[in-house]
Chain A
């Protein structure tokens, strides 16, 4: 409170008194009436006279309001009983879209519960407005601060306590105590290390996917390999690594749980075929395409959504999350939207049977950027 910069304080500059409030008389030179209130252009006319409601003076209106409130409560009871009836008579399960895309059960339960609750609420508020005393009363406010003598006593107690503890006089004890408690932060932080247990915390994994030289590209839902000759001009195929669809024939090991999800999340690709003349050859990638078939990671380099919307006339592909747009004909460079880097390209080849295979893994980490990305 004792700040020098208070141009708008009480005129005598004293702190406002605490805890003792009298009803204000407009214009009274009381020190805890704020300065500006003392010269009001219009005097406070005071609280308006209380007025009576029809329910206060007319017994008929009062009876009517009573009946209205009671009727609402009775209707609420009925609605609650109907809820129970609906619960036991209406089926869930197959009948999930009986009315307007909603199940009869959900709808009936919601309506009966809602009506019952609303009627209770409206009934209580009606009761409060019509029948409870509606006399506004006045309460005086108190300053939020404690009375000065309490403050002084508290400061005194605090000082006495600190004095008796003697911490201030013994810096060695104080500093080592603070240090000891501070160092306890280490165990607290270290304990979190195994949130990613063991070698799960290996960020080098981000630089690699399940793709390896010679692995076939397969269609993402059915897992069938893709013949280079089958890919139509202008098509976009969502594809996956064959290792995610193990069969006896291809001999890949069955993947489970988290590993399967991780490999799926990183291995997703898109394949398009365009006129080989449209492709702007990127340096060092001249041999990464097969007859105009070109393959990129499906995972957006912005924050990692799978991209999906392809416009064949412009060779642009758009991420539906934040609208980053990549030009697939020009090494998937960013032409619009917040992404910063092109989609990583998967070098393609054809195996003996004419199926599309990867020449290698991606040559850079796929997906969203991260701090150590360029280091890997």
Chain B
């Protein structure tokens, strides 16, 4: 169905051909392809997919960063396993690092020091591995935000959203198991806190702790067990889910931004072979390269400075890696004395709520977002065009509220650092956070929604009255007015290329056959939610409104007649009225 074969490619650089590279006699490549196809029959699938179209936008690159950093994690991780010894057996360190020589520690700590100081490139790989992990999780989060803010999670992509959320959870667990492996003082403290979390689990918690640690904390089993989870179990599931994520992406075809010629029915972009493959492949090298530079130039997790784990010691400023920071922050701002003894059994709300209840609840809310939205809107259509965040004010505001909650909880996880840096009282910061964690998201929701609606109004202004030129004209009567010029037709079309929102009313609603829908309780709730979600939104102008506005503009133009050339100062900006004879300029 692609139209490329009809295009005039005579001007394309001679080094690059668009016709098939078949020589007059089949070359070795062609005969290899024939050999493979005789056995695998790949040509049928390849026929469609080799030139599969991928739309281009900077924000589509975020998930790619996550994918490529995962590949870097696999490569560097395999390197590290060649020397790392996941054992809690006790040894005396005799390696190159002076300050710890002669000190007793576990074999995992000693082998980590060995990788850092006695294996060439070892420290580089360790640091690359840790940086790549941070980039992996950060880029997954930003990718998730992009998908949510643009409504890309709507039908038919809800399940890929669910897979993505699970990938984020698994990535976080993978990070935790990974940074616990060196058995240094900082990670050991984290493992002990994790033991506290397990023990706070009602009914089975104590047994779970004993089973995980092979007895009482710390035991001698936890590092080898975390190791196999870290190098086999979670990466295996991650790989499988990433494959599923990619396959669904290919099956659904990527979403695209609306624009001239870009509709719900098509996808416009570069073909996989050659441009997209080259860009994505080149981008892999760039991600890899940036991580290598970070690994070589930026110190991370210097376990030798923390020393080996000793259950009686701790350092000030003990903190988990940043992505574990937000539950830690919730843990910190819990009020004192939150513990109940019921029939002789202890329920530790101070751990239960921030660690065992809220994070799973947040993940559930995140996973359910597309389903909740789909239910409220009653929208069963496929969506392939992205929405600008402003055009879904309630969704955008919900996401910003969730982000605010996350951000405040995360900041609370650094309350000691904030106190030191700002010379503030840690108690005051904690009291503030206890209130802000509730008020902040509400405030953020309200501001964001109003902001989005204002932006929608602004878009309509531009459509109806054009853009402000900054040119003040004076009419013969002495009236001053700012001259507005219409925005270019492509931009105007793009602004209007969005759906009108429809509030689901419930009462009196009839289905396709004209039968009144059952007005059940859930329907009423749905109607209320739909009103809450949509009724404040600003809809795009109708054709009649546009007509009327343009008519008005023409009338105004008559008043300032004589300006048949672009207004001074606006010859080169993108909004000027272009001459049709102009050489078309590139948009990007």
Contact = CB atoms under 8 A, between A and B. Distances in A.
B203 A128 contact: no
Given A134-B275, A298-B312, A340-B350, A201 B299 contact: no
B211 interface: yes
B53 A195 contact: no
A205 B294 CA distance: 46
Contact of A197 (B128, B214, B267, B311): B214
Nearest to B8: A50
A177 interface: no
Interface residues of B, number: 166
A48 B490 contact: yes
Interface in B164-212: 189, 192-193, 195-197, 199-207, 209-212
B301 to A, nearest CB: 13
Nearest to B295: A110
9 nearest interchain CB pairs?
A110-B296, A303-B196, A13-B512, A121-B285, A47-B261, A124-B282, A117-B289, A118-B289, A340-B339
Contacts of B25: none
Contacts of A137: 2-4, 51, 53, 268-271
A183 B350 CA distance: 37
A7 B296 contact: no
A265 B218 contact: yes
Given A24-B266, A124-B281, A320-B315, A203 B502 contact: no
Interface in A227-272: 238, 240, 257-258, 261-262, 264-266, 268
Interface string A119-134: 1111111011111111
A284 B216 CA distance: 30
A39 B543 contact: yes
A371 B266 contact: no
Contacts of A87: 120-121
Given A39-B543, A66-B15, A302-B196, A341 B339 contact: yes
Interface in A99-125: 101-103, 105-111, 113-125
B253 A8 contact: no
A117 B294 CA distance: 13
A162 interface: no
A5 B527 CA distance: 12
Nearest to A21: B265
Contacts of B350: 302, 338-340
A111 B416 contact: no
A31 interface: no
Contacts of B379: 6, 8
Contacts of A174: none
Given A39-B542, A92-B119, A96-B97, 14 more contacts: A4-B517, A8-B381, A44-B497, A110-B124, A115-B289, A121-B287, A124-B281, A139-B267, A144-B251, A264-B311, A320-B318, A338-B335, A368-B195, A368-B196
B545 A41 contact: yes
A353 interface: no
B354 to A, nearest CB: 8
A305 B191 CA distance: 10
B293 A110 contact: yes
A42 B265 contact: no
A48 B260 contact: yes
Contacts of B346: 369-374
Contacts of B45: none
13 contacts: A23-B265, A49-B584, A113-B292, A113-B296, A120-B285, A133-B12, A258-B218, A261-B219, A262-B219, A369-B346, A369-B348, A371-B205, A371-B347
A351 to B, nearest CB: 23
Interface string B396-415: 00000000000000000001
B384 interface: yes
A36 interface: yes
A323 interface: yes
B338 A338 contact: yes
B312 A264 contact: yes
A360 interface: no
Contacts of A5: 378, 511, 517, 523
A132 B536 CA distance: 47
Contacts of B269: 136-137
Interface stretch (A54-62, A152-160, A273-281, A285-293): A54-62
B586 A51 contact: yes
A53 B90 CA distance: 66
Contacts of B289: 113-121
B540 interface: yes
B460 to A, nearest CB: 11
A186 interface: no
Contacts of B189: 305, 321
B574 interface: no
Contacts of B333: 338
Most buried by A among B120, B262, B284, B334: B120
B193 A304 contact: yes
A309 B128 CA distance: 34
B96 interface: yes
A34 interface: yes
Interface string B1-28: 1111001010111111010000000000
A114 B289 CA distance: 4
A9 B426 CA distance: 56
A303 B4 CA distance: 63
A322 interface: yes
B117 interface: yes
Interface string A294-309: 0000100011111111
A13 B13 contact: no
Contacts, number: 464
Nearest to A62: B13
Interface of A: 1, 3-9, 12-13, 16, 21-24, 32-34, 36-37, 39-53, 55-57, 62, 66, 87, 90, 92-94, 96, 101-103, 105-111, 113-125, 127-141, 143-145, 192-193, 195-197, 200-201, 203, 205-206, 220, 238, 240, 257-258, 261-262, 264-266, 268, 298, 302-309, 320-324, 334-341, 367-375
A53 B426 CA distance: 59
A336 B197 contact: no
B479 to A, nearest CB: 30
Contact of B11 (A57, A109, A196): A57
Contacts of B504: 7
Given A48-B584, A123-B282, A321-B189, A41 B311 contact: no
Contact of A118 (B275, B286, B328): B286
B546 interface: yes
A321 B314 contact: yes
Given A7-B502, A42-B546, A110-B124, A323 B430 contact: yes
A137 B5 CA distance: 9
Contact of A238 (B252, B312, B587): B312
A375 B350 CA distance: 20
B563 interface: no
B321 interface: no
Contact of B587 (A37, A43, A48, A220): A48
B313 interface: yes
B13 A55 contact: yes
B336 interface: yes
Given A109-B121, A309-B316, A340 B336 contact: yes
Contacts of A9: 380-381, 512
A105 B121 CA distance: 7
Contacts of A93: 96, 117-118
Most buried by A among B199, B315, B338, B379: B199
Contacts of A21: 265-266
A128 to B, nearest CB: 4
Interface in B403-462: 415-416, 426-427, 430
B484 to A, nearest CB: 17
Contacts of A340: 336-339, 348, 350
Given A3-B380, A124-B282, A304-B196, A102 B217 contact: no
B314 A320 contact: yes
